[in-house]
Amino acid sequence: MKVYEAMAQAFRDEGTTTLFSLMGDANMYWMATLVADGQVTNVHARHENAAMAMADGYARSTGSVGVATVTSGPGLAQAMTALVGAARYQSPVVLFAGDTQRGDTAALQYIDHEAFGRLCGVHVETVRSANQALDAVQRAFLRARTLRQTVMLSVPMDVQEQLLDEYRYTPSHELGEASGVLVPDQDTLDQALGLIASSRRPVLIVGTGAVQGDALGPVAALGDRIGALYATTLLAKGTFDDSPWGLGVAGTFSRPQAEKVLGEADLVIGVGASLNRFTRQEGHLFAQARTIQISHQAAAEMVQKQPTTLYLRGDAAATVQLLEESLAEAEHTAVGWRERFEREAWDPHDAAEAGRVEPGEEAMDPRDVVAALERTIPDDAIVVSGAGHFWSFVNKGLTGRGGRRFLYCLGFGSIGQALPVAVGVAVGHPGRPVVVIDGDSSILMHVAELDTAVRAGVDLTAVVLDDDAMGAELHKLRLKQVPDAAALVPTPRLDLVAQGLGAEGSIVRDQAVLDELLDGHAWTGVTLVDAKVSTSVVDVSAVMGNEVSVTA
């Protein structure tokens, strides 16, 4: 058995069922062997960056390890943007990166994989001989599964061709989990209980650590006991939107009412949330509140550290449950400010900084487009949002009604990632509607992946808020009173592009037409809606807030 054959079998033994790929000389034999028996579905992308982004979307939305593969040199280099983004999102992905032959630094496609991996912030497992190959696969999957790390498995072509005398492999999931659950020490717990007992206006902010750590039930129980309101980080958007005590997102995209309430909070408890400067609006959002932060990470490992009154290192669910049980034992209950809190619906047209569509413009108000999407997107949909000027309207105007989930694609601050990430999400959730909302310049970067979505047979609707411009840059130039012509980039007929790639496509300039289209939309198959929106409507929070949180 050759090494590439053994490694393919090891990936199957790890439970791999889906591969996101782009074939080349350095990965084709392993890749062909992996998918040959039909146990593993091969989603062959049109660009290496897209293949990596698809694995990221698959992993973050399902919780399972995503698997991608690219070839050496330019193949790996093309995947860099998505690779960095996945690493920063702590996405559990294993990337099989075929490499040139060992020592052949003159090879046309040579690149130093280990240096490249360090540059991207990923862990690299390099296979230097046949007897290391299977151990490297096991370590890669173990890291991805247990540490939620993005791992690059670098395998030179000459090593792949070596012979392995015997195939013996123990999948990482059979090695056993670490015993015990991490919880804070009693002294730290007592300090937290004291802060909670003395609070009158507490808020619980949940991040992805709470969602992925099954902590929402304990959070709700603690909230009921102390009369807390709930907010979320951007990445946990939608959580508690169905609760009467939910404030929505805390931070850059807070609703006006949420900002007011958070400004009055005397205690903020972050559960699986980094409470970074974006969630805190550079420290201004709840500046008067004491803060408790609960995370399994060591304080020094937090990506964007902010001062906190008390840090509790521990499993999110177990730590919150301990707090609630301790308060129950002490017979402590409080109404907090629930007696006087009444949630109001946010009207996007109330935003003071937003303008209006100019008379005679053949374009729609982006707030009206988002309102139509809020009304029609199914409750069980997964919404993948790109980034740009438009996304402020999306983040403020869409809710997590009925269990909708949200996924973001800005780990590296790049546009162009949303469509391939959404394809990975859709592959991981067959039969569930997936909606990707993006800008025109962004969608065009990887529009060819509509073909991949069609071939994969997924249910994916792409809605493009198309302003025929580099929207965020256009409005920044205008705010600085700098000539804006360079940011005006006409968009081709995206509806025709979509149709040429095998999807359904339509172009809409009138709100009534869009409303009718969305009312009759089945949310199945692959569809692109090119929604022309005005450049006269601007949301300053999207234009000037050019950095957003990529953690928790």
pLDDT tens string 65-120: 999 999 999 999 999 999 999 999 999 999 999 999 998 888 888 999 999 999 99
Residues 6+ apart with CB under 8 A from 49: 78, 79, 80, 81, 82, 417, 420, 446
- Domain shared by 37 and 116, yes or no: yes
| Total Cβ atoms within 10 A of residue 189 | 18
Angle between helices 316-329 and 216-226 (to 10 degrees): 30
Residue 304 is classified by DSSP as S
Tell me, yes or no, whether 342 lies in a domain.
Answer: no
Provide the number of structural domains found in the chain.
Answer: 3
pLDDT at 177: 59
What average pLDDT score do residues 184-205 get?
93
Q: Which two tokens stand for residue 88?
A: 């920063």
- pLDDT of 304 over the 60 cut: no
pLDDT at 543: 63
Tell me, yes or no, whether 296 lies in a domain.
Answer: yes
What average pLDDT score do residues 279-308 get?
76
Cα 377 from chain centre? 19
Residue 548 pLDDT level (bands cut at 50, 70, 90)? very low
* Of the residues 174, 209, 244, the one at which a domain ends: 174
Going by C-alpha positions, the residue among 59, 117, 67, 137 that lies closest to residue 91 is: 59
- Domain shared by 314 and 216, yes or no: yes
What average pLDDT score do residues 47-62 get?
97
- Domain shared by 191 and 158, yes or no: no
Q: Over pLDDT 70: what percentage of the chain?
A: 93
- pLDDT of 342 over the 60 cut: yes
CA–CA dist 546, 552 (Å, integer): 18
- Domain shared by 508 and 361, yes or no: yes
- Domain shared by 89 and 148, yes or no: yes
Residues 6+ apart with CB under 8 A from 80: 49, 116, 120
Tell me, yes or no, whether 246 lies in a domain.
Answer: yes
SS3 assignment, position 411: coil
- Domain shared by 156 and 219, yes or no: no
Residue 353 pLDDT level (bands cut at 50, 70, 90)? low
Q: What is the CATH number of the domain that holds 482?
A: 3.40.50.970
- Domain shared by 52 and 192, yes or no: no
- Domain shared by 297 and 431, yes or no: no
Greater pLDDT, 232 or 297 = 232
In this structure, the dihedral spanned by the alpha carbons of residues 90, 96, 102 and 108, taken in order and rounded to 10 degrees, is -100
- Domain shared by 517 and 426, yes or no: yes
* Of the residues 174, 203, 231, the one at which a domain ends: 174
Tell me, yes or no, whether 511 lies in a domain.
Answer: yes
pLDDT at 143: 94
Q: What is the pLDDT of residues 239-257, one digit of tens each?
A: 998 899 999 999 878 888 8
Q: Over pLDDT 90: what percentage of the chain?
A: 70
Residues 6+ apart with CB under 8 A from 139: 125, 172
Mean pLDDT of the residues in the chain: 91
* Of the residues 144, 174, 204, the one at which a domain ends: 174
CA–CA dist 514, 359 (Å, integer): 19
| Total Cβ atoms within 10 A of residue 349 | 11
In this structure, the dihedral spanned by the alpha carbons of residues 481, 487, 490 and 494, taken in order and rounded to 10 degrees, is -120
* pTM recorded for the entire structure: 0.91
- Domain shared by 163 and 271, yes or no: no
Q: What is the CATH number of the domain that holds 238?
A: 3.40.50.1220
- Domain shared by 236 and 267, yes or no: yes
- Domain shared by 34 and 129, yes or no: yes
Q: Region of 525 please: left (phi>0), alpha (psi -120 to 50) or beta.
A: left
SS3 assignment, position 209: helix
Tell me, yes or no, whether 337 lies in a domain.
Answer: no
Around 103, how many Cα atoms within 13 Å sit in the side-chain half-sphere? 3
Q: Which two tokens stand for residue 43?
A: 């989603």
Query: Whole domain around residue 48: which residue ranges?
Result: 3-174
Tell me, yes or no, whether 343 lies in a domain.
Answer: no
